[in-house]
Every structure is written in C-alpha cells, then in structure tokens.
Amino acid sequence: MFLPDGCYSSFLVNDSGFCICNLSLITHPSSVQSTCGKPKRKAVLCKSAVVTGAVFWSHRLYDGSRSERTRLDIISKLTPLLFVAIYFHIFAVPPESSGFLNLATLLLTVGLVDSIFLESVSAARSGISISTKYPIMPGKILPTFTPAEVESHNHAKSCFVTLGSKVYDVTSFLNDHPGGGDLILEYAGKDVKEILRDESSHNHSEAAYEILEDLLVGFLDNKSTGKTADTNGSATEGSEEDSRPVYASTGMSSEEDLSVETDIVKDYQTFKFLDLNKPLLLQLWNSGFSKEFYLQQIHRPRHYKGGESAPLFGNFLEPLSKTAWYVVPLLWLPPVTYGSFVGFAGLGNVPTAASYWLFGLFLWTLIEYLMHRFLFHIDGYLPDNRVGITLHFLLHGIHHYLPMDKYRLVMPPALFVILATPFWKLAHTVFFYNWYAAVTVFCGGVFGYICYDMTHYFLHHRNLPAYYKSLKKYHLEHHFADYENGFGVTSRFWDRVFGTELKTPPPKGAKAQ
C-alpha cells in the first residue's frame, strides 16, 4: 500500500474497512502502522465533535418554527463551517480513527451541504419561501390548471394546448410550426390529441412530441376535470378511462401515466395505503401491512404534486433522503479519477492497467443487473414484517412507488457507501496479488456506477438520442408494465443472457381493481 515515492495513500479505504476516498498523503511511512492499532483519542474527539456539530446545526436549520430570514442566516453561517469540516476530514485527519466515525462524519456533512446548497440557491434565485415543515429541495415544480384557465390562453400572446392531462405552452413555437401558427391557434386552449393523429391534416413525427415535452408547463387539475383515482393512484378520467386497457400488475397503460398527478385524498380513501401528505416512513413502520398488500401497492406508481418529493421523515433528516443527480458525478468522479491515476501509476504499464480498469467497468454491468434483480427486487424472499418491509421501501420500494421523484432517483451517498464496501473487500480478495490492480478494477466499476446513475436519471427526466430513447422506453416499461423483468438499466444485455428481457404485450385488462 505504498505509492511509488514512498507516500502512503488511504484512497477509498483504510484498515478499518472504510471505503470513501480519504486522499490523505502521509509522507512518513511509519505512520502506516497506526492504522492497525486503536484509534487515537484526539482523532476520535475531533470527529465526534464534527458529527455532533453537524446534527446540532442541521436540527437548528430545519426547525419548523424558524422564519425564512433566520433560516437563510443560519445557512450563510453553516455552509462555510461544513466545508471546513469536510476539508478537515479529507486532508487533515490521518486514517487512524474508526471507520464508523469516518463514515458518519462524511455522510452527514456531504448530505447537509448538498441540501443546504440547493435550498439556498433556490431561495436566492426565486425568492420562494423554503418549506418550514417539510423542507423540499428546489426543482421545477409544475402547477395544475383548471380547464377554464387553459381555455383562457387562446391567443397568439399566450397559447396553451393540452394532450391528455398535460398542459403545454406552445406560444414560442407558433412561428416555427411547419403548418403555420394559425393551425395551432385553432386549437388554442383545447386538446390536440386528435389533430396530432390526423395525418390528412399534417403528419407529426416523434420530434413533434419531443418538442411538446420541452414546452410542458403543468397538468390539468384532477378535481375540476372530474377525474378519479385508479388502482395505481393516478388520475384517470371518468367513463372513457374506466374501460381503458391497463397492465393488471401496475394499473397503468403507458409511460405518460407515470407523470399524471395522484389525487392524494382519493388515493388514500380508496386503498388505505400511505397518505402522501404525511411522513411516509413512520406510517409504514406503524402500518401493520402484510407483505402481499405492501408489494401490490408499491408497484402501482403514484405521482406527488407535479413532481415534488413526498415527505419521508418529516423532520431535520428529510434533506438527507434527497440527492440531486449532479451530486453523484461531483462527489465520486474526483476520487475515481485519483484512484485510477494511483492504480495506473502503480501498475506501470498502461495497456495492463487499462485492461484492469475496463474489466471493472464491464463487471459493473453485471453487478448492476444482479443487484437490481436479486437485492432491489427481493420481493419473493422479503420477510413479512415491518423491519423487512421498511428496509425494502428505503432501498428500492420508494422508487417504484414514486418513480418520477427526481430527488429520490439516484443513489444517496450513504447507501452507495454501504453497498460499495463489500465490493472493495471483494476486489482486494480476488486481486490479492496486486493492490494496484484491485484499486484499478474497483475504480473502473465505480465509474460504471456513475454512468448507471446518470443514465437512470436521464431515462426518467430527459429527452435523449435515438439509442437512449429505446432504452428509456425499455426501462419505463419496467415501471408501468412489468416490474418482474427488465432489470438492466444501462443496457438489456444481461436481460437477454438470463432470460428476463421485457417483451411487453399491449395492455389487455380493463382498469384493475
């Protein structure tokens, strides 16, 4: 575990098994021996102080009784302190303290910095009040419109159209429409479903639908349109939708259903599962739900308030449950880059090092498949008790229950650390003959994970090039059509190998009960 110049690096691990990049370069090799002994008292006290301080300040920050001004004042004072704490942890503390304190310190500080940064930026840009009861990360929250409101936008200065339950502002597209803006204005304030299908009027390619998605501004109000909640908790229209063919296991018929806002009150009254307006975790813990009922419900997706994050904890821990997509590359690319550099330098042969790194990258695709199939979808072996059900919900169930929640889509740093630790150990067990080979393989695998999480996020929330459009359709079918197949996210290769490729027939049954 020595670098070529005689420096010791605790990259991604120390002897206590902690698998986060410490980046400590200790120029005195004698200090390496201290990693095997008992933690030094000073290091333990310092790290304990950081953990205690992070918890104390986070509680002060997210105390629901505080005003907006007080909250932002605390943010302005706390953020520099947290960055100092992270710097202290990464660059100043030798790898002598216990893995638990390393883990707790980094996860608390990273989680709080992430949530505080997002919240303060949102407040500074928009002036919107930060929620004082359930802090919600800022994002593009789409409003709901009544039919009357949509119909009022029926002129060239403000032209809205609808497609199903979605509302689009096509004002900026009027002059660019190949058929002329006048044709669009004929349908201003109205639904364009039929005209888009009418080839005699104007042929519309997939690009037309992509343009519409870029112009999405909200959804039709469920109450004013007389929509009712179907079995997946989504809003569906009265008599026409009652006979709409759906997939029995999810109560959905297409990927568009994933973005239809759930009527929260109606959903709870109908299914007696979880009230989306209240913290979900405590409800689930105290519910007494059977495993069969729980699995049936979480695989019927809901959509919370146009894309907001439903409350999970309902207290100062709430921000730690949310992760913006860009946190993943910002947090993990630097240590992966550094570790790859160390591995390549230690191996001394670029082709050899590259082969190890690429092997790790390829291996990730298999790990991705196996974890998704046998860990995240452990449904058949899930213990029928509240501990097993709650852990399953936190691990993956919440993603199937609220699949379009953009802040609970990528893997939180805390969960990644827990899941990555055994793979770090495994890499060093398999490649016991060369520490640098193990690090290089591990870094290739972590890079694969970064690509996976970015792909997963963009499949849910972005319009993509041709290959990814096919992949997007494939993955979203896993959510709305068949959650028991289609476990590959970045590719369907392993689904083909193991016989779990999605071959989804059109929905047959009427609305499931």
Residue-wise pLDDT for 163-196, tens only, equals 888 889 988 888 777 667 788 888 888 888 887 7
Q: Which distant-in-sequence residues (6+ apart) come within 8 Å of 484 by Cβ?
A: 249, 377
The mean pLDDT of 143-150, rounded to a whole number, is: 85
Q: What is the pLDDT of residues 428-449, one digit of tens each?
A: 999 999 999 999 999 999 999 9
pLDDT score at 38: 44
Assigned token pair, 276: 């989306």
Residue 396 has a pLDDT of: 93
Q: What is the pLDDT of residues 226-242, one digit of tens each?
A: 444 444 444 444 444 44
C-alpha pair distances (Å), 412 with each of 70, 96, 201: 28, 26, 49
CATH top class, domain 147-220: alpha beta
- CA R_g for the chain: 25
- In the chain, the largest separation of any two C-alpha atoms, in whole Å, equals 81
- List, in order, residues 6 or more apart from 463 with CB less than 8 Å away: 210, 213, 214, 469
Residues of each domain in the chain carrying CATH 3.10.120.10: 147-220
3-state secondary structure of 119: helix
pLDDT tens string 327-384: 999 999 999 999 999 999 999 999 999 999 999 999 999 999 999 999 999 988 999 9
Find which of 63-77, 192-206, 325-339 is predicted with most confidence, using mean pLDDT. Answer: 325-339
What residues contact residue 29 under an 8 Å CB cut-off, 6+ apart? Answer: 2, 6, 8
Residues counted in the chain: 513
- What percentage of the chain exceeds 90 in pLDDT? 36
Q: Is the pLDDT of residue 135 over 50?
A: no
Pick the more confident residue, 49 or 97: 49
pLDDT confidence band for 130 (50 / 70 / 90): very low
Mean per-residue pLDDT, 36-63: 52
Q: Is the pLDDT of residue 404 over 80?
A: yes
Residues 6+ apart with CB under 8 A from 450: 328, 329, 332, 333, 336
Alpha carbons 280 and 372: distance in angstroms, whole number: 23
Predicted pLDDT of residue 436: 95
Chain-wide mean pLDDT for the chain?
Answer: 74
Q: Is 6 helix (H, G, I), strand (E, B) or coil?
A: coil
Q: What is the reported pLDDT for 202?
A: 58
Q: Output the six-digit token pair for 303.
A: 């959509």
Q: What are phi and psi of 208, to 5 degrees?
A: -65, -40
Q: According to DSSP H, which parts of 127-233 are helical?
A: 147-152, 181-185, 193-197, 206-214
Question: Of 133-137, 220-224, 333-337, where does mean pLDDT reach its minimum?
Answer: 133-137
Q: Among 31, 18, 21, which residue's Cα sits nearest to residue 98? A: 18
pLDDT above 70 (res 98): no
Residues 6+ apart with CB under 8 A from 11: 21, 22, 23, 335, 338, 339, 342, 439
